[in-house]
Amino acid sequence: MERIVITKPFNGICAMQICADKDATDEEILEVCNRENPAGTSLGWCEVARENYKEERARPVQCSDNANRLHLLVIC
């Protein structure tokens, strides 16, 4: 499996869901997201919602299929 996989290309208007290795960096995630599923905005995908994200429901969750992966939201 690839380190970063887009699982929901559109999660609302300004977010998408990915499944990624726990050690994937924000820079690595954003590069893959902007290449594989461009947001269509001037800034593109620009933020990965991590544990300290302001909206609790947007924070990462454990992947149910693989203990070494997380499901994260990427914001444009």
Contact call for residues 58 and 73 (beta carbons, < 8 A): yes
Q: Is 3 helix (H, G, I), strand (E, B) or coil?
A: coil
Work out the pLDDT band at 1, boundaries 50, 70, 90: confident
The 10s digit of each residue's pLDDT in 38-50 is 998 999 999 999 9
pLDDT greater than 90 at residue 23: yes
27 CB burial (10 A radius; 0-12, 13-18, 19+): exposed
> Where are the domains positioned within the chain?
4-75
- Rounded to two decimals, the pTM is 0.94
The mean predicted confidence, pLDDT, of the chain is: 96
E strand or H helix at 28: helix 26-36
CA separation for the pair 43, 3 (Å, rounded): 23
Q: Residue 38 has what pLDDT?
A: 95
